[in-house]
Amino acid sequence: MTPPNRVWRFGDAVTTDDMLPGKYAPLMVGEDRFHLHAFAHLRPEFAAEVRAGDMLVGGRNWGLGSSREYAPQALKILGVGAIVARSFARIHYRNLLNLGIPAFTSDALVDALAEGDRVRLELDRGRLLRFAADGAEEALPLPSVPEFLREVLAEGSVLRFYQRHGRFPGEALPD
């Protein structure tokens, strides 16, 4: 069993500029290292210390601002396992779906999770396990998601869904 992941807590109104300042935009030329600047201003230690599967917890309006997909792309490359927030900005939320980063809207989870908590996401079982210092585990239920999103999450992302089915989730096949 893999070791548990860590919870990184952020506040309200985390912008895509916070996630990745525009000056670090990837150039698609050679070896881009833009992801190493994730949260460069807000949490300079983040990119070096985050581990694959770690979970980000935000407040209200997570991901507002620029449509830049390279902001969540940086999180994807760094292996962020899921994001929980009280609410998401809409363009960013679409980008998360497209990249296949699970995003959950839940006041209960935001209230329950603390910076540095040790957790393991069990998507297929609809729950999040949290481990106390003595190893005791506690199961926190994930919020239910609408049918459209279930279809997306089952394939991993909207892009994968379209590749496989030649249509969008919930769409009848085009003529």
Residues that bind another protein (CB under 8 A): 13, 15, 17-18, 21-23, 25-30, 41, 60-61, 64-70, 72-73, 87-92, 94-95, 98-99, 148, 157-159, 162-163, 167-171, 174
Pick 39 or 130: Cβ nearer another protein: 39
- Least separation in angstroms between residue 154's CB and another protein is 16
DSSP β-ladder status, 55-57 and 82-85 = parallel
Pick 75 or 119: Cβ nearer another protein: 75
Pick 18 or 117: Cβ nearer another protein: 18
- Least separation in angstroms between residue 159's CB and another protein is 5
- Least separation in angstroms between residue 137's CB and another protein is 34
DSSP β-ladder status, 55-57 and 5-9 = parallel
First CA to last CA across the chain, in angstroms?
47
Pick 69 or 117: Cβ nearer another protein: 69
- Least separation in angstroms between residue 44's CB and another protein is 10
